């Protein structure tokens, strides 16, 4: 089968804008499947609708596979939306090229300094921010090969060139993601070049944003089904659900794509959307992952088909998480929970629980612990969340090869040292390994221990 590329794709299927005539306006760090189904899709449609020089240069921080998938295809790939009624395809043209960071740091710095670059976006996952358990910058990790190093080099060059500031837009599932990026980057720069930190603070902005689209890792089977429809081999194909949402705080340092014309909400305050998404969608996802795997399920929709887990997820979203969220005007949390149940039920996505179970230590503070803390302050117990937390603790106690988590060795050690009776306190009590987001009562710790 011939490979998808600008040459093999018929003109009718190519994006309507002239890709070669457009400059790169966005540098993206962490070009995985999610970006291809989300930010790149919005930007593709924004260029089609309103024009502008908003091609994306995607940086792959470690993996060589994304470049191997997309560069031979001139950055083109298929986005397939899957619903029970079938699959619909769109060719996305907004990615110009993929750069492998360790091989071409100077190219990244040059793009960060280029006057045509205005926006830098990030999907580097929770652990990519190199936070310690108290949320501060973990310098030992950050010094090594983190985004901060690349940003530091690029911003220094940009300041020298006298260019305008950049919008640095985090698209990761962290509470207050923009402010966290700002705080961590400034901590990194301040330790090396305080004048550059001051320049960055004065000229760059860090909007908060909420991103949402369920994007399972692409499988061979998925690629094959796209190939069958497209008539071309597409190594970069991504399959996703029809739903998508992007809410961005209106805090840009300079020009940006006309994202608002293609469904992006640009708002004064992202917090209620971000909190609802993290505590309800992601919170439910992580509960399904650990409880579902332990009940022998493989996919999200299978776990949702398990009556006991369905009740657990409903309870977690509606009775435990929702009451901790101050909804924005017009935001209906009950309807949101209804829609989430439907999305989780999608039988065509085959979203693996194992994919969600990864990096739990980085995810559960904003997904569960913040809810537990807020509910605790309101005097409400959270039995569903405690059940989920117990499932996570059992998960990290389990076979090491199944636990993908940057803190896995530390967590396994804690189990060895403290055992079943002491693990809850060692993790969540005063000076616990998981930091201070949740300050549990003795009763909550006992209730958690009883579930182990």
Angle subtended by helix axes 307-314 and 283-294, to nearest 10: 160
Strands 95-100 vs 167-170: parallel, antiparallel or unpaired: unpaired
Starting at the edge strand that comes first in sequence, how are the strands of the sheet with 86-92 ordered? Answer: 86-92, 77-83, 238-240
Q: Applying CB under 6 A, which residues contact ligand CS2?
A: 173, 212-214, 281-282, 285, 355-356, 363
Nearer to ligand CS2, 349 or 390 (CB): 349
Nearer to ligand CS2, 49 or 294 (CB): 294
- Residue nearest ligand CS2, Cβ-based: 285
**SS3 state of residue 70:** helix
Nearer to ligand CS2, 158 or 352 (CB): 352
Residues 336/327, Cβ–Cβ less than 8 Å: no
Provide the 8-state DSSP code for 13. T
Closest CB 285 distance from ligand CS2, rounded Å: 4
Nearer to ligand CS2, 96 or 340 (CB): 340
Nearer to ligand CS2, 159 or 213 (CB): 213
Closest CB 221 distance from ligand CS2, rounded Å: 19
Closest CB 248 distance from ligand CS2, rounded Å: 15
Residues forming beta bridges with residue 97, ordered by sequence position? 57
Residues forming beta bridges with residue 425, ordered by sequence position? none
Closest CB 354 distance from ligand CS2, rounded Å: 10
Nearer to ligand CS2, 298 or 355 (CB): 355
Strands 86-92 vs 77-83: parallel, antiparallel or unpaired: antiparallel
Distance CA 35, CA 440 (A): 36
Closest CB 268 distance from ligand CS2, rounded Å: 22
H helices present in 132-282, as ranges = 139-145, 147-161, 177-192, 194-203, 220-230, 271-276
Closest CB 100 distance from ligand CS2, rounded Å: 23
Distance CA 331, CA 15 (A): 35
Closest CB 387 distance from ligand CS2, rounded Å: 18
Nearer to ligand CS2, 227 or 359 (CB): 359
Nearer to ligand CS2, 17 or 246 (CB): 246
Distance CA 452, CA 140 (A): 34
237 CB neighbour count, 10 Å cutoff: 26
**SS3 state of residue 43:** helix
Closest CB 126 distance from ligand CS2, rounded Å: 9
Residues 40/25, Cβ–Cβ less than 8 Å: no
Nearer to ligand CS2, 343 or 425 (CB): 343
Q: Which residue has the tokens 């795997």?
A: 293
Closest CB 113 distance from ligand CS2, rounded Å: 32
Residues 148/196, Cβ–Cβ less than 8 Å: no
Angle subtended by helix axes 370-377 and 383-397, to nearest 10: 150
């Amino acid at each position: 089968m011939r490979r998808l590329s600008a040459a093999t794709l018929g003109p009718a299927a190519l994006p309507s804008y002239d890709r070669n005539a457009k400059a790169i306006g966005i540098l993206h760090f962490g070009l995985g499947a999610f970006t291809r189904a989300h930010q790149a899709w919005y930007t593709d449609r924004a260029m089609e609708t309103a024009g502008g020089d908003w091609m994306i240069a995607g940086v792959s921080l470690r993996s060589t596979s994304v470049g191997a998938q997309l560069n031979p295809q001139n950055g083109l790939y298929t986005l397939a939306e899957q619903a029970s009624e079938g699959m619909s395809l769109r060719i996305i043209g907004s990615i110009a090229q993929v750069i492998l960071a360790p091989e071409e740091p100077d190219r990244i710095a040059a793009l960060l300094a280029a006057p045509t670059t205005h926006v830098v976006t990030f999907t580097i996952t929770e652990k990519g921010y190199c936070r310690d358990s108290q949320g501060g910058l973990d310098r030992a990790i950050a010094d090594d090969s983190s985004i901060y190093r690349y940003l530091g080099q690029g911003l220094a060059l940009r300041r020298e060139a006298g260019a305008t500031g950049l919008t640095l837009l985090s698209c990761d599932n962290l509470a207050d993601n923009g402010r966290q990026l700002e705080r961590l980057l400034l901590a990194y720069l301040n330790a090396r070049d305080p004048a550059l930190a001051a320049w960055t603070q004065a000229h760059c902005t860090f909007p908060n944003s909420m991103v949402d689209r369920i994007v399972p890792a692409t499988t061979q089977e998925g690629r094959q089904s796209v190939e069958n429809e497209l008539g071309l081999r597409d190594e970069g194909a991504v399959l996703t659900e029809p739903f998508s949402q992007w809410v961005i705080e209106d805090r840009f340092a300079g020009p940006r794509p006309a994202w608002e014309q293609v469904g992006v909400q640009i708002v004064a305050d992202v917090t209620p959307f971000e909190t609802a998404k993290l505590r309800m969608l992601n919170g439910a996802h992580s509960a399904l992952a650990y409880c579902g795997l332990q009940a022998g399920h493989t996919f999200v929709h299978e776990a949702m088909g398990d009556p006991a887990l369905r009740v657990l997820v409903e309870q977690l979203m509606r009775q435990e998480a929702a009451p901790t969220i101050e909804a924005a005007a017009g935001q209906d949390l009950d309807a949101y929970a209804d829609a989430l149940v439907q999305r989780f039920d999608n039988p065509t996505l085959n979203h693996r629980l194992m994919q969600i179970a990864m990096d739990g230590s980085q995810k559960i503070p904003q997904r569960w612990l913040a809810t537990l803390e807020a509910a605790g302050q309101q005097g409400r117990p959270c039995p569903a969340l405690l059940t989920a937390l117990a499932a996570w603790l059992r998960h990290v106690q389990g076979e090491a090869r199944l636990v993908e988590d940057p803190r896995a060795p530390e967590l396994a050690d804690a189990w060895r040292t403290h055992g079943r009776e002491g693990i809850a306190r060692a993790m969540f009590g005063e000076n616990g390994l998981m930091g201070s987001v949740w300050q549990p009562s003795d009763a909550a710790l006992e209730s958690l221990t009883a579930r182990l």
